[in-house]
Amino acid sequence: MEFIKPNTLKELLEIISTITGEKYYFAGGTDINIQIKKDIIRNGKIIFINHIKELNGIKEDENYILIGSTTTFRQIIESKLLNDKLPFFQKSLNNFASPLIQSQATIGGNIANGSPTADVVPLLLVLDGKLELISNSMNRTINLKDFFTGYKKFILKPDEIIKSIFIPQNAENGFDTFYEKIGSRKALSIAKIAVAGLKKVVNNEINEIKIAVGSLNEYPRRLDLIEDYLLNKDLKDIDFKKIRIILKEEITPITDLRSDKDYRFEVCLNLIKKFLLKPDSG
């Protein structure tokens, strides 16, 4: 393995534009360290990015809240700006990993590690999060939901990194919010099923609806078909048998050491029910 420590963002982008072959960006290292220990990563180049100032911090402009990719979960949980503007997002991450891991783990690492269980992704999906991707030759902004293409596969070009995450200023405004993660215990547990949802209900009718799930497919995703079915429906007219049928098409849970696929399916369905029937908090 070879290690590279660029001094600035510019130098980082220049270096990665010339590297061919396997490479990893070492941010908090909470995933990479363990992958090295377990021999999942054996060779390639490791590029340190944690010290690069342009990649860290939380700020806002007129339209967005911007979170640098190496911002840690502790910075997110302690941010005053997020407490003001995105309290649901912030509160939902309170139980991320453990207080110790929160000080080290970064938001960019959580997304780009590509695990189907990554906690931050379903939340960002319902908040219509975007990613700013940057390379030596270009800079583009994409919707997070277009980032993933398969299990641990992304549209990221070989010379591109995630620079920051954008969340629209009013992403939570006026919505009834829901986030539940099911794991084997409270602290330090990897999600078996996670459901995030936002809904706006006026006179019992669903005016806006966003639902995203984690740990149920190759990557976390929005449930477009369920959303289509629910939009403009009266809460009384929701047919949960119908939802069960649509959900069968939309998620492909797996059986692994942590859970069986039928269990995952039923729990997901129950969480969606709980979200839809939850009284409007606003």
Partner 1 sequence: MKVNFNLNNKKVSIDVDPMKRLLDILREDFGLLGTKEGCGEGECGACTVLMDGKPVTSCLVNACHLEGKTILTVEAIAKEPIGKLLIDCFDETNAVQCGFCFPGFLVSSYYFLISDGEQNLDKIKEALSGNICRCTGYQKIFESVMLACKKKQLYSHRFSLIHPVR
Binding mask 180-219 for partner 1 (x = CB under 8 A): ------xxx-------------------------------
**Binds 37: which of ligand FAD, partner 1, none (CB < 5-8 Å by kind):** partner 1
Minimum Å gap between C-beta 190 and partner 1 is 11
110-133: b or e for each residue (b if 16 or more CB lie within 10 Å)? Answer: bbbbbbbbbbbbbbbbbbbbbbbb
40 binds partner 1 per the rule CB under 8 A:
no
Distances (CA, A) of 133 to 32, 35, 36, 71, 130: 21, 24, 26, 15, 10
Shorter beta-carbon distance to ligand FAD: residue 50 or 169: 50
List the structure tokens of 214: 């984690």
Residue among 27 and 198 whose Cβ is closer to ligand FAD: 27
- Per the listing, tokens 């100032």 go with 53
Phi-psi category of 209—alpha, beta or left, where left has phi over 0 and alpha has psi -120 to 50?
A: beta
Query: Which tokens is 3 given?
Result: 């290690």
CB neighbour class for 49 (10 Å; exposed up to 12, middle 13-18, buried from 19): buried
Which of 175, 195, 181 has the alpha carbon at shortest distance from 272?
195
Judged by CB under 6 A, the chain residues 106 through 145 that form the site for ligand FAD are 106, 108-110, 112-113, 117-119
Helix (H) or strand (E) holding 120: helix 120-126
CB of 48 to partner 1, least distance (A): 5
Minimum distance from residue 163 beta carbon to ligand FAD (Å) = 7
- Residue 216 CB, shortest distance to partner 1, in Å, is 24
- Token readout for 177 is 């919010």
Collect all residues with Cβ–Cβ distance below 8 Å to 91 and sequence separation of at least 6. Answer: none
Indicate the residue among 169 and 189 with the shorter CB distance to partner 1.
Answer: 189
The residue at minimum Cβ distance from ligand FAD is: 109
Taking the complex as a whole, the smallest distance from the CB of residue 181 to ligand FAD amounts, in Å, to 8
Per CB under 6 A, which of residues 166..225 are in contact with ligand FAD?
188
**# of chain residues touching ligand FAD (CB under 6 A):** 27
Among 15, 19, 36, 225, binds partner 1 (CB under 8 A): 36
Which residues bind to partner 1, rule: CB under 8 A?
3, 5, 26, 28-30, 33-34, 36-37, 46, 48, 50-51, 74, 97-101, 103-104, 186-188
